[in-house]
């Protein structure tokens, strides 16, 4: 049981690194054509950038399905990735970008730093020149800068 929880948590945390790398080198690189929609004013409910969510969901679903037969490590790894996806949606889409109007006045230092750091990233509307590519974990230099 403890090992399963540990596997889940490891994959949850590892996903921040995968997401950071993907955001910096894939989204702001080869697949900018998809991600650019996220750096422009939204014209509808969905944007081309939302395809990345489906791409991240594929390995999660696959691991859950193949691991469910024996509830082995793959099942818990897939759950960790899925939990990261849910947290990403709540923090990034609901809280930061207000795709669902909620938590507008959150005053906790972490949430203020998260929103400010992400808005710093969106101050650049081009493929190059952006900073702060993380999604859930605010690097200490930004946390110190924006927490108050």
SS3 category, 41:
coil
For residue range 47-56, list pLDDT tens digits in order.
898 999 999 9
Say what the pLDDT of residue 19 is.
93
Total domain count, the chain: 1
pTM here is 0.87
Q: What is the pLDDT of residue 147?
A: 66
| Rounded Cα–Cα distance for residues 103 and 105 (Å) | 6
List all residues 6 or more positions away from 148 whose beta carbon is below 8 Å from its beta carbon. 109, 112
d(CA 106, CA 112): 7
Residue range 32-43, pLDDT digits in tens: 999 999 888 878
CB-count exposure of residue 93 (10 Å: 0-12, 13-18, 19+): middle
* Matching residue, tokens 């999604």: 135
3-state secondary structure 42-56: CCCCCCHHHHHHHHH
Structure confidence at residue 102 (pLDDT): 66
- pLDDT, residue 45, reads 80
Domain span holding position 24 = 2-146
103 three-state secondary structure:
coil
| Ranges of residues in the chain whose predicted pLDDT is under 70 | 102-103, 147-148
DSSP letter at 139?
P
């Amino acid at each position: 049981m403890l090992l399963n929880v540990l596997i889940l948590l490891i994959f949850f945390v590892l996903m921040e690194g995968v997401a950071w790398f993907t955001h910096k080198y894939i989204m702001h690189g080869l697949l900018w054509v998809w991600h650019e929609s996220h750096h422009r004013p939204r014209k509808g409910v969905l944007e081309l950038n939302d395809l990345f969510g489906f791409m991240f969901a594929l390995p999660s679903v696959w691991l859950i399905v193949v691991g469910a037969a024996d509830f082995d490590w793959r099942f818990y790894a897939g759950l960790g990735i899925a939990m990261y996806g849910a947290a990403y949606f709540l923090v990034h889409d609901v809280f930061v970008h207000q795709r669902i109007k909620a938590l507008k006045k959150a005053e906790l230092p972490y949430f203020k730093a998260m929103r400010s750091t992400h808005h710093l990233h969106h101050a650049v509307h081009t493929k190059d020149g952006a900073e702060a590519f993380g999604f859930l974990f605010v690097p200490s230099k930004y946390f110190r800068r924006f927490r108050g």
